[in-house]
Amino acid sequence: EPEVTQTPSHQVTQMGQEVILRCVPISNHLYFYWYRQILGQKVEFLVSFYNNEISEKSEIFDDQFSVERPDGSNFTLKIRSTKLEDSAMYFCASSPQVLGNQPQHFGDGTRLSIL
């Protein structure tokens, strides 16, 4: 069964450094998302992306965050200058459509640890 793949599985970075988290969504999907989950807390929406532009972003997704689809298969999340509070699991998801009956399929996440 097709799946969303994320790399790396674990990223350790010094505070203030830039990180890029990578995702390969399911091949025929058109809508892409990033979520994060801080340890012990609920999964939170960051951003959705369609047709090479951001569809929606949450209040968490401030100017230090950016997303890009650099080619036909990858979808990346960049954090420009990491803070300690950016430490979390980051999940990528994709969906064939944005309609309510089209579920989002999640990758296994990247654990980001900021030192």
Q: Does 43 bind other proteins (CB under 8 A)?
A: yes
Please identify, among the stretches 12-20, 27-35, 65-73, 77-85, the one whose residues bind other proteins according to the rule CB under 8 A.
Answer: 27-35
Q: Does 104 bind other proteins (CB under 8 A)?
A: yes
The rounded distance, in Å, linking the Cα atoms of 33 and 2 is 17
Q: Does 113 bind other proteins (CB under 8 A)?
A: no
The rounded distance, in Å, linking the Cα atoms of 25 and 42 is 22
**17 versus 102: smaller Cβ distance to other proteins:** 102
The rounded distance, in Å, linking the Cα atoms of 77 and 20 is 6
Please identify, among the stretches 13-21, 28-36, 65-73, 80-88, the one whose residues bind other proteins according to the rule CB under 8 A.
Answer: 28-36
- Read off the amino acid at residue 29: H
In whole angstroms, how large is the CA radius of gyration of the chain? 13
Q: Does 33 bind other proteins (CB under 8 A)?
A: yes
Nearest to 92 by CA among 107, 76, 77: 107
Positions touching other proteins (CB under 8 A) are 4, 6, 31, 33, 35, 41-45, 48, 50, 55-56, 58, 91, 95, 98-109, 111
